[in-house]
Structure formats: C-alpha cells, structure tokens
A and B are shown apart, each in its own frame.
Chain A
Amino acid sequence: MYRYFLALRYLINRPINLLGTIGIMLGVWSLIVVVSIFSGYLGAVEEHLRSSTADLSVIEPPETIPFEILQRAIEADENVLACSPRLLWYGLLHPFGARVKSEVIGQTGAVVSETNFVSVIGIDPELDRRVTGFHGWLTEVIDEEMRVANPDRPLDDRADLPSMVISTSRMQREAASIGDRIRLTTGQSSGSRQSESLNFINATFALSGSFSSSYAGFDSLNVFVHIDRMREMLKSPAGSTNEIAIKLLDPDKAEETALRLTNTLKVLDPRMRFTSVRTWKQSNFIQLSSIEHQRSLMQLVLFVIMIVAAFLMYTTLSMMVTEKTGDIGILTAMGGSPLGVSSVFLACGLVIALVGSVLGVVTGCLSSIYLDDFNQWLKASFEIDLFPTRIYNLKSVPYSLDPLWMLIVSAIALMVGLVVSGLPAWRAARLDPLQSLRRD
C-alpha cells in the first residue's frame, strides 16, 4: 500500500511533475480540439456537399434514350423515392452591362469571386422538388429583391424569354435585379469525328431570381434554367437528359443501390453499358478526401506534441529517481522489494499521465464547445478571425467531438506514460539500496 501513498506524496510535493502533466495535457488537448474542429468542418462540408448533390446521380446516360423510360426503370428499385432529369451544359455569362458593381466582401476580407464561366443546369423544377434541395435554396434567400416570385414555378418563361436563376452572391456582385437580361454563349460540336465543327450558340435569358445553397463553392459555379429551354437551345430531342438525380429512401444504402441501378440500366439497354451511377460521396470525392487528408496530416503533427510531452515526463521522472536514491535505500530496509519500490515511480508516471489525459480531455471538450464564443470575441476585440465560417456558409465554428477518438487519445497518452515511467522505474529497481544507506 505504501506505493500509492508515497507516489501521491511525491507527486504533491514535487511541483516539477506538473511539467509532465501539463505536457500530456497539452498533447491530449490539442489532439482533441484540432481533430474535433477538423471533423466539424468535414462534417459541415459533407453536409453542404450532400445537400447540393443528389443521393445518387446517373452519369451521362445516352441522350437518345428518353427520360421516361429511364425513370420507369429507376423508380422500380425498392430504395428509390424519386428521380429527376437534368441536362448539364457549360457556358460563358456575359457581363451584365455598364452599371455600378458592388464587391461582396466576405468576413475573411477576401472578395467573393464568381467566375463567368459556369455550369448551366437544366432542370424540371416540378420533378426536381422531390429529389434535391433546389426548392429550399430559393426560399432561403432573405432579400425579397433577389427572391423568385413563385418558388413553385421559378423557371417559367418571363415575357418571351426563358428564365435563369443565378446564385444570390452573383446577383449581389453584379448588382443585378429581377427581370435583367442575361446573355450566355456556349458551343456545341457537330458532325463526325473526322470532320468535327463547333457551332456557337448565343442565348438570352431573363433573371427570375436567385438561389443560395449552403455551399459557396457550388453557388459560384452553377446557374439553373428550365430543362425544356435547354433542350431547345441544344436542339436535343424531347425527353433527353445527360444526368439523372435520384432521391433514396434510405441514403445509408447508397452504395449498394448504386451498384444495383448500374446493373439495371445495363440490362435495360446495351447502350448504357458504360453508364455509371455515382453516390454523392463519389461525386464529391476530391473535396472530401482533401479535408480528410488534411486531418490525418494534422494528427501526425500533433502526435509530435505527445512525444515532446513524453520526453518531458521522462526527464522529470528520471530526475526524481536519481534524487530519491536515499529513499529507495530506506524503503528496501523497511521491507520493500525492488519490484515494489520501483512501482512507486511507475505509479507516479501513471498518475501524471492519467491526470494529464483527464485534464486534456476535459479542457479539450470545453474549448471545442466554447471555441465559437472565443472566435467571436477575437473577432470583436482584435478583428482576428481564426476560423473563417464564411467559406462554408457556417453560422458558427463547427466541431464534432468523437468519444472513440477521445478514448484512443487517452489510451495512447496512458501508454506513453507507462512506457516513459517504466524506464526510470526499472532503473530504481536495479539501484543498490546499500549505496545510499552507507553515505548520506
């Protein structure tokens, strides 16, 4: 029993041991806070990517197969709730003309940039409503001047012109107002492979309002028009589509449903043997994996802090053993075995690691939770924005505390403590107790 008693007394009476504790605490703290913020951002981005992408997308079905046929086959699947056709194209938006433009300054101080080269997405608003969040993005626009008049029919022709919906930020930047004319230039190749020629297409649209998804990256790149007007512009047959958005009943079964649908389409028509069905994760693979990659890189860097903490702990414990040579002698005389005496130092190490981990976990959780308040305060007091929320259209700094990760980090910290105190303890066990008893 003397081990616990002595270990405790040594720890309490030797403030230098705080160094080791603080080291471990910092290691655990940083691993928890940083990973929780990264996970938070990752989660937020995932959510935003997810909301801007359909559960499943059929990529490039041949345009010659009418949507109705595909729809019947797709909606026959047990996990499909609905699907809607899209016609994706590209184009160059002409400048809106000579008027005073206002720059939209983000919270980061950077000008929100919107290229004029955009993806033009032709959709059927009625069908799309059951499949993507488009309808919600329209109603989410706060400023009435930029909101579509009738969100249920946002892409109806205005006068004799087809409608276009652009992002709220683009509309702001161009100082555009509803009813403005938008000119789009695009091209289309025709002819055979040998004698291919590019035909330019110029089309004029009327601005009917704006949309705002929660993902700025999506907003800046896309504009929406009615799929029928798109088909006319591209001279595609009625019912043609080059992407089908699918809403699932159970999004967790996206992978298996995608596989099943790929097969269904292949069987339906041999022209679709190369048509693939992607999950929303696959569609956004690059964005998701880059954040994931950053997170693992960060973890690696942070473990270095743990190593420094371990080293600190080792030094303090090792110093303690050296200083305590005299105590080791008398403890042995009083009936302590070498193993028992060395376990005093092992216990010291364990307590340091345990206290450090617990403090690290507690402070880690607290600082994750209150990080947003801290960030707000920094912004208000010093105009420093550590965690720009604007990029991802977030209301606050996101965080996500994962109990498993906390457990892993604590377990690692404890293991480090055990290993690092094991060495001095082993040295204590091998010390000759008489050496210290002979002299003072």
Chain B
Amino acid sequence: MSQPILQAESVIKNFRLGKEEISVLKGVDLSLQSGEMLALLGTSGAGKSTLLHVLGLLDPPSKGRILYEGQEVQNLPAQQRARLRHQKIGFVFQFYHLIPELSALQNVKLGSMMDISLGAWWKRRGELDARARELLQLVGLEHRLRHRPAELSGGERQRVAIARALIANPKLILADEPTGNLDSHTADDVLELLFRINQERGISFLLVTHNEELAARCHRIVRLKDGVVIGEELPAQTGASQES
C-alpha cells in the first residue's frame, strides 16, 4: 500500500474548562489514503468536529502524532502549519463561512491569495481568475459569479465554499457535515458534487456526517464514540464489518 496522505496516531485532545479537564479525544488512530473517501460517523458530541480540527492543524493535539505524507506536523510553528493548511487541505463546513462582503467569485479567488505576494499575484491574476471561474463552473455556479452570499441559496453557498476549498489544489478536503444545513434534495446534489470531485480529481475526503446512507457510499466508514474509534467498515466492497 502506498503511503497514507494523512495519519493520526494515538491522538488525545483535552480541553480545560476552569479547573476541570475534559477529555474529548482519547487516543484516536486513523489513516487516510490518497484518493480515498472516508466517512466519519458518530453521535453528537462524540468528538468528530474536534478530531477534524486537530487533523486540519487548526487545533494542536494534547498528545499523539499527526503525519502528512509521512511527515510529523503537530509540532510545527504556527506559520508553517498555516502554510500546510493552505497547500494541502481544503475545508468545507456546515455553515459555509463565506465572507459576506465578497461576491461568489471573489470568495473563491480569496482562497488563491492566502500564500502569495502582491507582486506574484499581480503577475498571475489572469490565470487565477480563470481558475476561479472554472471551479465555479465545475460546481454549477457560472451564472452566479457576482452574487454575494446573502443573495445565494444554502446549496449555492455550499457550492461556492467547495469551489473555494479546491482553488489551492489541496490533496485532501476535510468536510464537517457539509450537508447538515441543507434539505435532502439539495444535500444530494452537493454530495454528488463531492463524489464527482473525488473521482475526477483524486482528492481524498474526510467526510463528517450523521447520515448512514451517505456514509455507505464512501470507500470506508470510521465510527467514533466518546472520543475513541469503535469500528471501521468497508461498505463498498462486501458490506462486512470488521470490528477493531
């Protein structure tokens, strides 16, 4: 097997609340192959979002190791973690988190401006603009370029967010309940889009969801409960579950 794009080894995450210490992740092991679509299932409060943030280098783990393509990253300085986030990871959240002052096109373009100097951006602006338009076309929003988030529907907003996550050419997209806020019909459309991106571009996905049906369409399912992985399944192959 080739090297996993992302690995988590005995990741522990505790939060301090006053004097109390809450243990949210209690030793999570996880790996994600290149091109793999992994569903992370679990009840509310299981620690799914927390795990996603830790894996996405937004929050350092209390203990344990995180490896990107075999390289340990949890101890990198903030500046380098930020760069890694930009280069390797795309995020999609339940609540889109688009910037309200920017149009759909500008929101997507913003994703390409994070790690580039003004001069370099100016030289490449044509190319980056074309790329943002192309991605918006990919998500089916070529007719909504100038709309502000407030002028878009929930599904459209999430599509913009997906296009934005793609613009920096990430190897991996971390999606936290991307359809949690959408009606089932719109949710299906958005999911189709995600599956298509996975297939056409070979981008790995870590998809946090409550939805069993959706999880069943992924390559692999990991179940999280009370901060520990309680099971892994490979639905696409046999449907047989392997308890760990």
- Chain A residues with CB under 8 Å of chain B are 1-2, 4-6, 9-10, 12-14, 326-327, 329-340, 433-434, 436-440
Which residue in B78, B97, B113, B164 is a CB contact (below 8 Å) of A437? B97
Min CB distance, A169 to chain B, in Å?
66
Min CB distance, B74 to chain A, in Å?
16
Assess whether A335 is in contact with B102, with CB atoms less than 8 Å apart. Answer: no
Given contacts A2-B110, A5-B113, contact A335 B101 (CB under 8 A): no
Assess whether A5 is in contact with B110, with CB atoms less than 8 Å apart. Answer: yes
Q: List 29 A-B contacts (CB under 8 A).
A: A1-B120, A1-B121, A2-B110, A2-B114, A9-B101, A10-B101, A12-B101, A14-B101, A326-B97, A327-B99, A330-B99, A332-B58, A332-B85, A333-B58, A333-B97, A334-B86, A334-B110, A334-B114, A334-B168, A335-B83, A335-B87, A335-B115, A337-B78, A337-B82, A339-B79, A433-B58, A437-B58, A437-B93, A440-B95
User: Most B CB atoms within 10 A — which of A4, A9, A433?
Assistant: A9
Nearest-CB residue, chain B, relative to A338: B78
Chain B residue contacts of A436, Cβ below 8 A: 97
Chain A residue contacts of B87, Cβ below 8 A: 335
Chain B residue contacts of A1, Cβ below 8 A: 113, 116-118, 120-121
Nearest-CB residue, chain B, relative to A332: B58
Nearest-CB residue, chain B, relative to A4: B118
Interface residues of B, count at CB 8 A: 34
Chain A residue contacts of B97, Cβ below 8 A: 326-327, 329-330, 333, 436-437
Instruction: Please report the C-alpha to C-alpha distance between residue A98 and residue B114 in the assembled complex, in whole angstroms.
Output: 92
Which residue in B53, B99, B113, B120 is a CB contact (below 8 Å) of A434? B53
Instruction: Please report the C-alpha to C-alpha distance between residue A197 and residue B137 in the assembled complex, in whole angstroms.
Output: 111
Nearest-CB residue, chain B, relative to A13: B101
Interface assignment of B202: CB less than 8 Å from any CB of chain A:
no
Query: Beyond the given A2-B113, A333-B97, A335-B114, could you list 19 further A-B residue pairs with CB under 8 A, ordered by the A residue number?
Result: A1-B118, A2-B114, A5-B113, A14-B101, A326-B97, A327-B99, A330-B91, A333-B56, A333-B58, A335-B85, A335-B86, A335-B115, A335-B168, A339-B79, A340-B82, A434-B58, A436-B97, A438-B49, A440-B95
User: Most A CB atoms within 10 A — which of B82, B98, B106, B115?
Assistant: B82
Assess whether B91 is in contact with A334, with CB atoms less than 8 Å apart. Answer: yes
Which residue in B95, B111, B120 is a CB contact (below 8 Å) of A334? B111
Instruction: Please report the C-alpha to C-alpha distance between residue A434 and residue B60 in the assembled complex, in whole angstroms.
Output: 12
Nearest-CB residue, chain B, relative to A326: B97
Min CB distance, A343 to chain B, in Å?
13
